Chain A
Amino acid sequence: MISSNFITNACLLILFLPLAAFIVNIFFGKRLPRQGDWVSISAIILTLILSLSLFVGMLSNWDYKFSHEIYFSWIDLGAFKIDLGFWVDNITIVMLLVVSLISSMTHIFSLEYMKGDIRYNRYYAYLGLFTFSMNGIVLANNLMSLYIFWELVGVSSYLLIGHWFEKNSAADASKKAFLTNRVGDIGFFIGIMLMFTAIGSFNFQQIFAGVSNSMISGSLLTFAGLGLFMGAVGKSSQFPLHIWLPDAMEGPTPVSALMHAATMVAAGVYLTVRLFPIFTTEALLVIAYIGGFTAIFAATIAITQNDIKKVLAYSTVSQLGYMILAVGVGNYTAAFFHLLTHAMFKACLFYGSGSVIHAMHHSLHELHDHDTDPQDMRNMGGFKDKMPITSLTMTIATLAIAGVPLFSGFLSKDAILAGTLYFVDHHPEHWILAFFGFGAAAITAFYMFRLIFLTFYGKPKMPKVFKGIHESPKVMTYPLIILAALSFFIFYTLPYFNPFADYGWFTKLIKATNSVVPGNPTAKEIYDGVHHAHYTAMALSLIVASLGIGLSFLMYFKKKFSPESWAKRFGVLYKLSLNKYYFDENYNRFLYQPFLKLCNTIAYIDWDLYDKYFINGFGYITKLLSKITGRLDYDGLDQTLVDGIGRTANSAGKNLKTVQTGRLQNYMLFALIGVIIILVFQIT
């Protein structure tokens, strides 16, 4: 049993240590030895240790009902009261561990990857800010502070994606990420405000209580739920706001790993997991469809991409779609499970790709070749022998993401697919969701092995470059090894050793709670249904995964079919996929350009019509009126009345002045005359 005092202090430290590292590095980083990277690293390692101790505490506690909330009053205006605080339960603790683990791996990996960067200290500072914001989201016990940290995550992703802002593409990508997220955040904000208006609180527990008391219900609740989900669509890069994520690859590769595995995109899924109890059936259906569609849609794009990071980017979008699908079908603990396992193998894949790109970069640098793209898989091949550790770890992570037994991805994917099967079983009209799920699983297996075969196997496509390739230093390979190790099933099923089981510490400690929306299926119904579908899902997912892997093996390893001829045969589809379904182009043509046109028209109306005729006309009339009143004032009032009084006084003074002769005798005479007049009056 861990004391609540310890939890509070640990959470405070976990939250604020990265922030402290950020502050130190942003202000003093340049002046510190080694540009202050050791500050960030020691802060994040401490965070990791604290998260680990919380995690161990959770395991020793072994209580799936554990929940701990602390808060303080932030704004207290009588009826209007906002409390900020932490809500710590098992989900929070697991998520904290994921964030701090991936973040520390990123910090360590970047030591080598970012060596010699011109803004080294700033890079580490921003990593700290990113971790701080993400921990803030994880710990939040209310929508208000969650929203604050949500935006902070947006800012820090903007800063990190645009780390090399001298490159136009990086600057554009960071802008795109920020603006696309903003679209989602509008919905998120509307959702928050709807909840607050109806229930009068931002606190999760109070919102749940409010929803179960029907303080908000029906279509309004659906609408609020969809608004909140829109925030997740933006952050977790779901269709149709997925466009920012592949472009975000412009940032340094460790940042991509951090962002795609643990912090940014996980935030959206984490939000839906947290808010699951308030989603209505209709909202969940929309969520399921968006997630399922994103999963298969992004997977089909990933097939044809040649940039190693782009493949991983679309695979992230696809996997996030999976998690959202799992939330949508009601099996939200599976979504969180996949978030956890995905964080490990996806981070591993990104570090692996970083390691490959790093090696390519060095080799190209030595050849003074600045035209060859170091990220293009068509320039790689056969790296297996030169980079054994990278190759091995990436293969393990790929096996995990493809859903091969004995690996973590198998467990979580199976849980999601079982949930989908259960849902389709109950609602046969939504059979396409199952198709989305299993289809995406097959395609994922295919393109991930394509990546492995193209990069690590076959003949080197550029022998000159190949000569210069060498394994990355230990700082980079150690995180790879750790994360690859964490891609094995054993870490998720303990204390059981059955790799096909759908139970382990995770499922024992993280149990779904009932939806608070009246009429939704209870957690037990879902659990039983999922359990029932478990083996069917497992068999099916094994079949589709081996189909995908097999096809990839034949095509890219054995070269039984030539990918080129297939590409020709499916010319239109190939082109669509290669060009990402022309999403950017269509958004540009149908959204941005009309929007710009609209803006220009409004600007024209504003500047050239409204300003010129109305505002300026108004000004002209005012000027004219002022002139008239001015004339009246100056020539009329001033000249006659004001000046007139003055002039009268003046002339009176002038005239009376003559009386003051300065001659005493005159005065005396006047006095005499005065006396005589008074006497005359008195006598008469």
Chain B
Amino acid sequence: MENLSNYLVISSILFSLGLFGVVTRRNGVAVLMGIELILNAANLNFLAFARFGGMNMSGHVYALFVIVLAAAEAAVALAIIINIFNNFNTINIDDVSEMKQ
């Protein structure tokens, strides 16, 4: 079990689930959750490569960065969603298409 491909498979499943969530969900918060999944899939990849590939410590460092980034992203994105809710009284992202021609 201790080989790279297993991790990569798991991370791609995670990625696909995240992507599926991002693409299909109408709820803005659910979309954010999908993005978190994608980020975590990437994290898993970094760590897998750190363990089995040649990235070593830099893989860990990247993973930590991504976690920090994910936290910041979540904070900003949630703030945006709250603002959207304030302005449009909904968080359904299909209704927030003011920019469309």
Contact = CB atoms under 8 A, between A and B. Distances in A.
Q: Do A and B bind each other?
A: yes
A669 B19 CA distance: 9
Interface in B12-68: 19, 22-25, 31
A662 interface: yes
Contact of B23 (A657, A661, A662, A669): A669
Interface residues of B, number: 12
A663 interface: yes
B101 interface: yes
B93 interface: yes
Given A663-B93, A664-B93, A672 B100 contact: no
B22 A665 contact: yes
A682 interface: no
Interface size for chain A: under 10, 10 to 19, 20 to 34, or 35 or more residues?
Answer: 10 to 19
Nearest to A666: B23
A77 interface: no
A75 interface: no
B97 A665 contact: no
A662 B19 contact: no
Contacts of B25: 665
B22 A663 contact: no
Contact of A668 (B22, B99, B101): B22
Contacts of A665: 22-25, 31, 93
B97 A663 contact: yes
Contact of A662 (B24, B31, B99): B99
A73 interface: no
Nearest to A665: B23
A119 to B, nearest CB: 82
Query: Which residue, of A660, A662, A668, A669, has the highest number of chain B Cβ atoms within 10 A?
Result: A662
Contacts of B19: 668, 672
A226 B87 CA distance: 107
Contacts of B97: 661-663
A657 B101 CA distance: 8
A663 B26 CA distance: 10
8 smallest beta-carbon distances between A and B, as pairs? A662-B100, A662-B97, A665-B23, A669-B23, A668-B23, A663-B94, A662-B99, A668-B22
23 contacts: A657-B101, A660-B100, A660-B101, A661-B97, A661-B100, A662-B97, A662-B99, A662-B100, A662-B101, A663-B93, A663-B94, A663-B97, A664-B93, A665-B23, A665-B24, A665-B25, A665-B31, A665-B93, A668-B19, A668-B23, A669-B23, A672-B19, A672-B23
Interface of B: 19, 22-25, 31, 93-94, 97, 99-101
